Amino acid sequence: MIHVFLLFSLCFSDYGFIQGVTSLGINYGQVGDNLPPPDKVLDLLTALKLTKARIYDTNPQVLTTFANSNIELIVTVENQMLPVIMDPQQALQWVSTHIKPYFPATKITGIAVGNEIFTDDDTSLLGYLVPAIVSIHGALVQLGLDKYIQVSTPNSLAVLEVSYPPSAGSFKGEVSGVMSQFLQFLSSTGSPFWINAYPYFAYKDSPNKISLDYALFNKNPGMVDPYTKLHYDNMLYAQVDAVVYAMSRLGYGGIEVRVSETGWPSKGDSNEVGATVQNAAVYNRNLLRRQMSNEGTPLRPNMRLEVYLFALFNEDMKPGPTSERNYGLFQPDGTMAYNVGLSALATSSSTSSASISLTSSATKVSIP
């Protein structure tokens, strides 16, 4: 087997050399039958100098492979497990089995209890959410891990009743009771509110009302919130601040918001307006530029916004419309799905000397 590693230069023609983007992570989904093994994925993440990743389970192969690496990992309690782990003893068993054997060699920094439970089609899950979160946290406390591992749950932006203008942000009334309990937990434990925010969805649903440039971080007039007079030049930051205002309405305005998922599909069905290679490349390239400056939103300009890109790979077994299988930056064979400016030069040198290039045009990453 020929071992080919990546040599990158972290360079923008406008920005010069920047060593590392500490607020950037990536979602490593595994819903595919042709994905590379975890050790090759680790090689790729290391070469890209990405130090944060999120997985949607507690795959023991991934947890074992990522041991003694520099990757901080968020793992997931799958939705169907919530009725079980709401029981404190079951939660303790879960943490003892899925977390403790791997930590601290594997840098598990977060546990996502479910995914988008507040808006899940199975509405019965919502009643289990907060008890499950509390039980998982209690298990971490019992095992002495709570100081190292945060507990939260990623939320769809659909949890908001109102998102425009940002200062009018509010949660849907039917979830406000459980949401208040959830926010109280986050506030008491210092954990973040995770939001899956996709400007693509808003643009797809209203392409005649929403500026594509505004959704893609391109130069545009933006919008001024009529109540706060804050100027927004992109939709993602407006969505994040709408979440902050929604939390404030329930009395929890001090909680940090992190973007657990954002991205743009490179391909879609005929009715999925805007799902193109060009738009995906522009969105992610512009988002990377913003991340390199470690900037915050207009409401919280001095608080660096942590963002996890969705996703590392195209996943061919995901259900739903074509777009769902085309969010990846990479194809399973290591070929870039499109050029966001991350480019590779094959070399036999160690990945420890790798850095990221955002200027070269090469589009192939070799995964042996």
Q: Is 220 helix (H, G, I), strand (E, B) or coil?
A: coil
Tallying the residues shown for the chain, one arrives at: 368
Does residue 84 form part of some domain?
yes
Q: Apex CA 316: angle with CA 342 and CA 334, to 5°?
A: 30
β-bridge partners, 213: none
The answer to the question of residue 366 being in a domain is no
Closest CA to 309 of 216, 193, 198, 201: 198
Instruction: Please check whether residue 367 lies inside any domain of the structure.
Output: no
**pLDDT computed for residue 98 by the predictor:** 99
Answer yes or no: is pLDDT of 42 > 80.
yes
Q: Average of pLDDT values for 21-27?
A: 88
Residue among 8, 2, 11 at smallest CA distance from 362:
8
On whether residue 170 sits in a domain, the answer given is yes
pLDDT above 90: residue 47: no
Tens digits of residue pLDDT in 271-326: 999 999 999 999 999 999 999 888 999 999 999 999 999 999 999 999 999 999 99
Q: Would the pLDDT of 122 be above 70?
A: yes
Domain range for 154 is 5-353
How much is the pLDDT for 334? 84
pLDDT at 52 over 90: yes
Three-state secondary structure along 338-356? CCCCCCCEEECCCHHHCCC
With a CB cutoff of 8 Å and minimum separation 6, the contacts of 48 are 6, 8, 342, 354, 356
Among 99-108, 226-235, 343-352, the range scoring the smallest mean pLDDT is 343-352
Indicate if the pLDDT at residue 351 is higher than 70. no
pLDDT attached to residue 253: 95
**For residue 340, what pLDDT is reported?**
80
Phi then psi for 329, rounded to 5 degrees?
A: -75, -30
Rounded CA-CA distance 180/280 in Å is 35
Residue 279 lies in a domain: yes
- State the pLDDT at residue 22: 78
DSSP letters for 287-337: HHHHHHTT---SSSTTSPPPEEES-SB--TT--SSGGGG---SB-TTSBBS
Tokens of 179: 């949401």
pLDDT level of residue 3 (50, 70, 90 thresholds):
very low
Which phi and psi (to 5°) does residue 287 adopt? -65, -40
> Is residue 73 situated within a structural domain?
yes
Which of the residues are catalytic? 116, 261
Tokens 């010069």 correspond to 16
Comparing 8-22, 77-91, 190-204, 324-338, which segment has the lowest mean pLDDT?
Answer: 8-22
Q: Answer yes or no: is 358 within a domain.
A: no
- Beta strand 24-27 with 307-309: parallel, antiparallel or unpaired? parallel
Q: What global pTM score does this model have?
A: 0.90
Structural domain count, the chain:
1
CA–CA separation, 121 and 73 (whole Å): 28
List the CATH number of the domain containing 329.
3.20.20.80
Helices (H) and strands (E) in the chain, counts: 10, 17
Range 209-233 average pLDDT: 98
- Say which range, 18-22, 127-131, 265-269, has the weakest mean pLDDT: 18-22
Q: What is the dihedral of CA 315, 316, 321, 324, to 10 degrees?
A: 10
Residue 335 lies in a domain: yes
